[in-house]
A and B are shown apart, each in its own frame.
Chain A
């Protein structure tokens, strides 16, 4: 099956700093990637749809100025959490679609202290 990677797999940062998370489709091109967030014991929640070459589409309640998404190529999307706060601590997962199926990256566990 298709492979999606994420980097870093985990990160600890101080409150107020910014963190960039990369999502790559390794063996296929993805014009659309998705960013999800999962808090403990909660379901994955879609944050935004990342479109190659255009602006991301954010879900209601997700601040676009805080969660910056860039989809510069068909194999790379980045999510930058700006001015991170402890409440942003979560498991961030990206995915990419190939055909009807969606493949997930291994996730990035962000802890903001």
Chain B
């Protein structure tokens, strides 16, 4: 079983739509959770950290369910510029090193 699993998509949505991504992780000892965004042929960039109580940053809302080992990302009012691959990321056993999901591809269309 992979450590971090995501639905690869692609998700094709119109501008203004709300879209949700899900992710599950296998290591119950994981302590840090993130969503990264990766544009084609570029490095990943941190979108937001995910906290146990859930957190929101503008149009982006992240949720964590430790009991189910499940993480989600909700994007409201999608913009064309949101088109990218969204990576669910969990810290590894060694502490700071990260385990990445394969990513979920999002395409927002006019």
Contacts and interface: CB of A to CB of B under 8 A. Distances in A.
Q: Do A and B bind each other?
A: yes
B100 A44 contact: yes
Contact of A43 (B43, B45, B49, B101): B101
A100 B32 contact: yes
Interface residues of B, number: 20
Which secondary structure dominates chain B's binding surface? Answer: loop
A21 interface: no
Contacts of A43: 4, 87, 100-103
B45 A104 contact: yes
Contacts of A107: 42-43
A103 B49 CA distance: 13
Q: Give the interface size bracket for A toward B.
A: 20 to 34
A46 B92 contact: yes
A104 B43 contact: yes
Given A105-B43, A107-B42, A109-B41, A46 B87 contact: no
Interface of A: 32, 34, 36, 41-46, 49, 57, 91, 93, 95, 97, 100-107, 109
16 contacts: A34-B98, A36-B100, A41-B102, A44-B87, A44-B98, A44-B100, A46-B92, A46-B98, A93-B43, A93-B44, A95-B98, A100-B32, A100-B49, A101-B46, A102-B46, A103-B46
